[in-house]
């Protein structure tokens, strides 16, 4: 069993119409379990939707179960 590790992540996202939070969470889950995230920049573009810069901390790997030795 591998241990869980924290990884920083910088993600660029072009959101689709609709609620934003589920789109961000779905994009982050592709990289691991998001522990925290923030939108740190928005790039407005004349030729399309805005691009969001998201900084996150992601948990990757397996976490020990309660009572289990790491």
* pLDDT tens-digit map of 17-30: 999 999 999 999 99
* pLDDT tens-digit map of 12-65: 888 899 999 999 999 999 999 999 999 999 999 898 888 999 999 999 876 555
> Which tokens go with 54?
């998201």
pLDDT at 28: 93
Confidence of residue 3 (pLDDT cuts 50, 70, 90): low
- The span from the CA of 52 to the CA of 33, in Å, is 20
Rg (CA), the chain: 15
């Amino acid at each position: 069993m591998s241990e869980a590790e924290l990884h920083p992540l910088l993600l660029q996202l072009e959101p689709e119409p609709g609620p934003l939070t589920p789109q961000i969470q779905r994009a982050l889950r592709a990289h691991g379990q998001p522990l925290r995230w923030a939108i740190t920049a928005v790039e407005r573009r004349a030729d399309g939707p805005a691009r969001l810069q998201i900084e996150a901390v992601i948990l990757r790997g397996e976490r020990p179960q309660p009572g289990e030795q790491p």
